[in-house]
Structure 1
Amino acid sequence: MTWDHARGFDPVQATAHSYGALQPDVEVTWTRRSLREFAERSVIDLAEDYDLIVLDHPWIGTAVAREALLPLDTYLDAGFLRDQAENSVGPSYDSYVYQGHVWALPVDVAAQVSAYRPDLLDEVPQTWDAVMRLLQEKPGQVGIPLMPVDCLPTFVSLCANLGEGPGQHADHFVSHAVGQQALRMMTHLHVYSHPGSIDWNPPQLLDHMSSTDDVSYCPLLFGYSNYARPGYRPETVLFTNIPLGVDQQPSGAILGGAGLAVSRRCREPEAACQYAAYVASPAVQRGEYFQHNGQPGHRSAWVDAQVNAQCGDFFQATLQTLDHAYLRPRFNGYIDFQDAACDILHRFLKDKGDIDQTLTALDAAYRASKKS
């Protein structure tokens, strides 16, 4: 099971066919779910029905607690896993390591990055002060995904970029001093951005940017290299590092991407794990996986000149952001907080809510998730 987007479905479908040619006794069939379901539907339920699951790393703690997944390190060669770790893009490999085991392979890597139309934007903002000036000088020409499921990632990225990664304490999600700054920035982004932003997810915003000329820049969204490939949409969208943080680096962007996991209920675990290793292998990642609309997870693809030449240098242009990305919590119960926090932050923006009350509500939801 994967998610319903060219980036999510096409590359694994292609690898299923090529692997079947190499291993005629193994047949892999993929189905897909919406991007919203990818973020929200329980991996525990999926593991009951599917052998192979493309998942979001915050699910790892819950999935391990519920014994839903196979520990891949018990099936895969140590040398292969060492290569995966050494060629990780940012903390992507570590995002699937939990309680001493590897629970998924980082076949797809992403983080929040910046996007722009080079034909519409003269200069890409390098700092948040420059972003705020652009918002006021050209209101509505900046877009940012702020539908509920994207509100928490944006808040987390802003906090981490301001110097404090959320979710590191037991009694509060983030200090109120940093949280207040982040919410003020989100408010400014919401008020001056394109009015469609509050209902957009990243592909919807990128579809808009690549088919109309009224949005020229987005400071934070999960990157999709597809839109930087000539011919994928009417207009090409390029990607770059996020604005500099307090450390003068493009730091703190929340890590995204997707890992390939194997259900503990799988009746052919050895075959499933070997197929997963095939998909994650460097040659497949920078070759077939990328060529079929994939966004690889292996570092060799990110620095490959031929790969970058086909997608407007998407990987090289954003690699610094990925290497400074922030790994959010993955404890058992975090998903409950994530769902609640997305709704809290979205209501804050839509209803012009109170900053301190919003932060208090986030802390309460965070503490409740830790107890659960």
Structure 2
Amino acid sequence: MTEKIQLKGITWGHTRGFVPMVATAQRYEELCPAVEIVWTKRTLQEFADKSVTDLAMEYDLLVIDHPWTGHAAAKGMLAAFDDYLSADFLADQRANSVGKSHESYNFLGKQWALATDAATPVAASRPDLLQALQVALPRTFEDVLALAKTGKVGFSLLPIDSLMHFYGLCCSLGEEPCQDNEKVISDAVGIKVLKLFKSLADELDAGFYDKNPFRVFEEMTQRDEIAYCPFAYGYSNYARAGYARKVLHFHDLVSLNGTPMISTLGGAGLAVSSQGKHIDVAMDYARFVATPEVQETLYVENGGQPGHLRAWKNEQVNAATANYFSNTLPALDRAYLRPRYDGHLYFQDHAGDIVVDYLRDGGDEKVVLDKMNAMYLESLVDKEDHG
């Protein structure tokens, strides 16, 4: 009896991250009995923190955050999909990208992951609580601030999420961050953003400094205190009947100065290690997961949040998720693609602490920006080498 080809995969330990990978692996094994795929999970923080270089030495398949793309390309630890999959397949992936999800894994002209999961900060509500409060769904930033003053608003204030919200607010005020090699954002816009952000953060319970996005949604569904979240990386699981104690409805972002707000693209991509013994088999499994047929059925039915546009527009998928996908697609289409050059990971890992210190303790906004700029300049060292 021939020994099975075994592939090892690593993803993050939430229903959205883990269960669809196990389900697709099971089905792939049924179609290809000579292959066995074993998935392992890590925490969301480990998902963001642990180097793809280290993981690629251990695992054949990696679910990655797109900011790792530049690092992975620089270190040569991932295999490029262009070298294994057909041009037609990749063209379909590109044409059916949700926002810039597919592009987010393309670096130095190569595709380093398939966008099997798409997300950006979107709004969430408990319609029953808003109705009980006799409050309409917020439409503007001012509406959110007014509701926050009643203690009914929450969102993640972890350092990484605070930095992503800072980026989104900069874009919403008309200026994309990290476009200049001298500073993160102009002083004029940066100061406005910090003041605006702090005005809202000051109304939140301090417990939100310790909650990541899905912990915010757990808070909203397991208890009856928080009626609205203005921006958190969306998890369609909480829009599904039976998943949590209460169902959340998800929405596009509110407007700021008359224009819909912009958020910072997230999501996850399925990558293949260049260090594995069976790269061709791993590539074929990744292709299988990313096909529209699997994305809009097996993947999403098992808690996944697909990255193929066909799934987002599928009527059955939307019917099962209180229209999560059709309601939030405009926010995905507008979402800002943050920098992915190798050195930016250092900035992303540490700049959020500067923002959080300011949100908690206040201070001179110009001093805050100066600290961020100093860190940004340090992060640019690798940019010249890696694009």
TM-score (norm 1): 0.97
Does the alignment pair 1:262 with 2:275? no
Q: Secondary structure at the match of 2:274?
A: coil
1:260-299 matched pairs, under 5 angstroms: 260-299=270-309
Assess if the C-alpha contact under 8 Å between 2:16 and 2:237 holds in 1.
yes
Name the counterpart of 1:132.
145
Aligned with residue 16 of structure 1, among 1, 22, 25: 25
Distance in 2, matches of 1:235 and 1:354, equals 41
Name the counterpart of 1:61.
70
1:109-148 matched pairs, under 5 angstroms: 109-121=118-130, 122-136=135-149, 138=150, 140-148=151-159
Does the alignment pair 1:228 with 2:242? no
Amino acid at match of 1:232: Y
Assess if the C-alpha contact under 8 Å between 1:336 and 1:369 holds in 2.
yes
1:85-120 Cα deviation digits (max 9, x unpaired): 110000001001111110000000000101110011
Does the alignment pair 1:196 with 2:210? no
Aligned with residue 348 of structure 1, among 358, 362, 370: 358
Moved over 4 A (4+): none
Q: Secondary structure at the match of 1:32?
A: strand
Task: State the 1:155 CA deviation.
Answer: 0.7
Distance in 1, matches of 2:204 and 2:326, equals 27
Task: State the 1:246 CA deviation.
Answer: 5.0
Does the alignment pair 1:304 with 2:352? no
Distance in 1, matches of 2:262 and 2:46, equals 26
**Structure 1 unpaired stretches of 5+:** none
Assess if the C-alpha contact under 8 Å between 1:111 and 1:257 holds in 2.
yes
Q: Secondary structure at the match of 1:120?
A: helix
Distance in 1, matches of 2:364 and 2:11, equals 38
Assess if the C-alpha contact under 8 Å between 2:23 and 2:302 holds in 1.
yes
Name the counterpart of 2:5.
none
Aligned with residue 41 of structure 2, among 32, 44, 47: 32
Q: Secondary structure at the match of 1:242?
A: coil
Distance in 1, matches of 2:250 and 2:364, equals 33
Amino acid at match of 2:138: P
TM-score (norm 2): 0.93
Distance in 1, matches of 2:232 and 2:154, equals 10
Q: Secondary structure at the match of 1:113?
A: strand
Note closer, same or farther for the CA distance 1:288–1:195 as it changes in structure 2 (3 Å cut).
same
Per mean C-alpha deviation after superposition, the further-off stretch among 214-223 and 237-246 is 237-246
Task: State the 1:162 CA deviation.
Answer: 1.2
Aligned with residue 360 of structure 1, among 350, 370, 380: 370
**Structure 2 unpaired stretches of 5+:** 1-9, 383-387
Aligned with residue 116 of structure 2, among 93, 107, 123: 107
Distance in 1, matches of 2:268 and 2:363, equals 33
1:252-284 Cα deviation digits (max 9, x unpaired): 210000000011101111100010010000000
What RMSD in Å do the two structures reach over aligned CA positions? Answer: 1.1
Q: How many residues align?
A: 369
Task: State the 1:133 CA deviation.
Answer: 2.1
Assess if the C-alpha contact under 8 Å between 1:163 and 1:245 holds in 2.
no
Name the counterpart of 1:78.
87
Distance in 1, matches of 2:350 and 2:225, equals 32
Distance in 2, matches of 1:83 and 1:21, equals 26
